Structure 1
Amino acid sequence: MFAEPPPAAAWRHRDARAGFEVLRSTRTGGGWTLHGVTTAVEDGTPWAVEYVIDVDDDWHTRGAEIVHPIEGRRVSLRRDGPGRWLVDGLHVPELDGCLDVDLESSAMTNALPVHRLRLAVDETADAPAAYVRAADLTVSRLDQTYRRLPDAERHQRYYYDAPAFDYTACLVYDETGFVLEYPGLAVRV
Structure 2
Amino acid sequence: MFTPLPSSAAWLHRDARTGFEVTYFREDARGLLVEGCATAVEDGTVWAIEYRLRLDRSWHTRSAQIVGRYPAGRRTVHVQSDGSGRWQVDGTPSPELDGCLDIDLEASAFTNALPVHRLGLAVGDAADAPAAYVRAADLTAARLPQHYRRIIDGIGQRYDYSAPGFDYRAELGYDESGLIIDYPGLATRAA
| Alpha-carbon distance in 2 for matches of 1:169, 1:130 | 20
Equivalent residue, structure 1, for 2:126: 124
Does the CA-based 8 Å contact 2:83-2:101 persist in structure 1? Answer: no
Note the aligned Cα RMSD (angstroms).
1.0
CA deviation string 1:94-133 (max 9, x = no partner): 0000000000010000000000000000100000000000
| TM-score using structure 2 length | 0.96
Counterpart mapping for 1:17-166 below 5 A: 17-69=17-69, 71-80=73-82, 82-152=84-154, 154-166=155-167
Q: Secondary structure at the match of 1:172?
A: strand
| Alpha-carbon distance in 2 for matches of 1:97, 1:183 | 27
CA deviation string 1:151-173 (max 9, x = no partner): 24x12001110000000000000
Which amino acid is the alignment partner of residue 90 of structure 1?
A: T
Which amino acid is the alignment partner of residue 11 of structure 1?
A: W
Q: Secondary structure at the match of 1:72?
A: strand
Equivalent residue, structure 2, for 1:6: 6
| Alpha-carbon distance in 2 for matches of 1:81, 1:58 | 9
Q: Secondary structure at the match of 1:119?
A: coil
Does the CA-based 8 Å contact 2:151-2:160 persist in structure 1? Answer: yes
Equivalent residue, structure 1, for 2:188: 187
Q: Secondary structure at the match of 2:173?
A: strand
Q: Secondary structure at the match of 1:116?
A: helix
Does the CA-based 8 Å contact 2:61-2:83 persist in structure 1? Answer: no
Which amino acid is the alignment partner of residue 122 of structure 2?
A: A
Does the CA-based 8 Å contact 2:60-2:102 persist in structure 1? Answer: yes
Structure 1 residue runs of 4 or more that deviate by more than 4 Å after TM superposition: none
Which amino acid is the alignment partner of residue 176 of structure 1?
A: S
Give how far 1:69 is off.
4.2
Q: Which moved more, 1:64-73 or 1:49-58?
A: 64-73
Q: Closer, same or farther in 2 for the Cα pair 1:10/1:89, shift >3 Å?
A: same
Count of aligned pairs: 188
Which amino acid is the alignment partner of residue 121 of structure 2?
A: L
Identity %: 60
CA deviation string 1:62-109 (max 9, x = no partner): 111111145321111111351100100011110000000000010000
| Alpha-carbon distance in 1 for matches of 2:33, 2:84 | 20
- Gaps spanning 5+ residues in structure 1: where? none
